[in-house]
Amino acid sequence: MKIKARREFLKKSLLGLTGAAVVPGTLNAAPNSGQPVSSYAPIPTRALGRTGIQSPVISMGTGATSSSNFIRAAYDYGIRLFFSATYYGEGNNEKLVGEALKGLPRNSFVVGTAAPPDGFDNRTGTFTKDFSPDSYKKKADDSLNRFGLEYVDIFMLPMVCSKESVLYEPVLNVLNDLKKQGKTRFLGIATHDTCAEAVAAAAASGVYDVIMVSYNYKVQDKDNLHMAMDTAARAGLGLMAIKTTAGVFRDNSGTSAINTNAALKWVLQNDNISTIVSGMSNIEQLQKNVEMTQNLKLSDQELKDLNLAQLEAEPSLYCQQCKRCLPQCPRNLDIPTIMRSYMYAYGYRSMEQAWYTLQQTGLTGDVCGSCDKCRVSCSAGFDVRNRIQDIARLRDVPMEFLRT
């Protein structure tokens, strides 16, 4: 992408909406002795399944931060669970987390990470013949080593959605080896779509200890998902919720904000949820999340805000990942993953996560250009072609450009 085109992209697109993501002072927030730095009461805790971990109801997803001081500040505010992934900052985020927690008592925090294996087809949710156990073991070892810790507490298999992928024996063998070798204490999955099937499979596996599941007030098929979550909780698995606000904004311009306190409290009304993994990027968000935990009861206004959000006629930014679009697309595009990238960019203002998610889709050429009219009818009412062509421009922006 030429310099002029990059500037135009900044001025006219999503990047221009996200430039002020970091509150002044965030990057220079100095770590202290580990004592609480606020006047808030301690964050309430819940048992994380059979792991023995008492988890604060808010945990930190670190993918949106590039400051070790900010991660340490979260610890000082009472956050104790920190989650990274191999694809955050091309592995540098794992180093950042290790650096932030260095010198603290090892039993005073919990670190988790996720490594997606090669040879996984997002469209079908299954592994392909390209999966290599040796390659995945190396990826896992490299991930663990970047933290600079003797072990991580939770190692997760991300992006899985089908029973077949959750129980794929070659992957389970690698995961079990990591646990036997003491490189991780617990194993888990992270699932974004067809969550009920994935959660039920993990509960029946006898291998996994925790589940990270997409769960919010807009999620469909709640009855089946709740039944699967009940089954998993009874089996002793700890449940952690992600995508809990269904995006921070409901529109591209960022003028229609979601009542995030209401959305988070809605999730925590489910006693099976041990903690929310919130992607925080600045002190303001951190303080707001901690303050929310001081009273988990939904107020009348918060209930009203959620009800109004449910009744909105306009399509939101949250994709249900139902995959009904896949057989409709003549180019066989991975539309659900593309829509997740779009949501990360516009809904969460997380440009790096949007970029990495988009890379998984393998978009090439003039996206949608060969179709004079989009044949995809989205169950959520999205203008699929418009959103794909919009977010596809992010392909050509170098990652280092997004960090400046």
For the chain, the residue count is 404
Q: Does the structure show a pLDDT above 80 at 254?
A: no
How would residue 256 be classed by pLDDT, with cut points 50, 70 and 90? low
Please report the pLDDT score of residue 37 as a whole number: 57
Please report the pLDDT score of residue 271 as a whole number: 96
Q: Does the structure show a pLDDT above 90 at 354?
A: no
Q: Give whichever of 13-22, 49-58, 80-89 has the largest mean pLDDT.
A: 49-58
Q: Does the structure show a pLDDT above 80 at 15?
A: no
Please report the pLDDT score of residue 137 as a whole number: 94
Task: Give backbone dihedrals phi and psi of 65, rounded to 5 degrees, phi first.
Answer: -115, 150
- 129-166 residues labelled b (16+ CB within 10 A) or e (exposed): eebeeeebbebbeebbebbebebbbbbbbbbbbbbebb
Q: How far is CA 317 from CA 243, 253, 386, in A?
A: 12, 11, 13
For the full predicted model, state whether its pTM sits above 0.75.
yes
How would residue 312 be classed by pLDDT, with cut points 50, 70 and 90? low
- The C-alpha atoms of residue 85 and residue 61 are separated, in whole angstroms, by 9
Q: Which residue type sits at 203?
A: A
Please report the pLDDT score of residue 385 as a whole number: 87
Question: From the DSSP assignment, how many helices (H) and strands (E) are in the chain?
Answer: 16, 12
Residue 86 contacts residue 94 (beta carbons within 8 Å) = yes
238 versus 371: the higher-pLDDT residue is 238
> What percent of the chain stands above pLDDT 90?
48
Please report the pLDDT score of residue 47 as a whole number: 98
Please report the pLDDT score of residue 10 as a whole number: 44
How would residue 322 be classed by pLDDT, with cut points 50, 70 and 90? confident
| Helical pair 351-359 and 335-346, crossing angle rounded to 10 deg | 170
Judging by beta carbons within 10 Å of its beta carbon (0-12, 13-18, 19+), is residue 181 exposed, middle or buried? exposed
Q: How far is CA 377 from CA 31, 125, 345, in A?
A: 50, 21, 22
Whole-number mean pLDDT of the chain?
Answer: 84
How would residue 397 be classed by pLDDT, with cut points 50, 70 and 90? confident
How would residue 267 be classed by pLDDT, with cut points 50, 70 and 90? very high
Q: How far is CA 107 from CA 2, 18, 103, 290, 374, in A?
A: 49, 36, 11, 22, 54
- Phi/psi region, residue 52 (left: phi>0; alpha: psi -120 to 50; beta: rest), is left
Q: Among 151-155, 221-225, 312-316, 377-381, where is mean pLDDT lowest?
A: 312-316
Q: Which residues pair with 279 in a beta bridge?
A: 61
Please report the pLDDT score of residue 104 as a whole number: 96
Per-residue pLDDT tens digits for 82-107: 999 988 877 789 999 999 999 999 99
Average pLDDT over residues 313-328: 74
Q: Which residue type sits at 192?
A: H
Q: Does the structure show a pLDDT above 50 at 185?
A: yes
Q: Does the structure show a pLDDT above 70 at 404?
A: no
Per-residue pLDDT tens digits for 128-151: 999 999 999 999 999 989 999 999
3 versus 28: the higher-pLDDT residue is 3
Q: Does the structure show a pLDDT above 60 at 374?
A: yes
DSSP single-letter state for residue 89: G
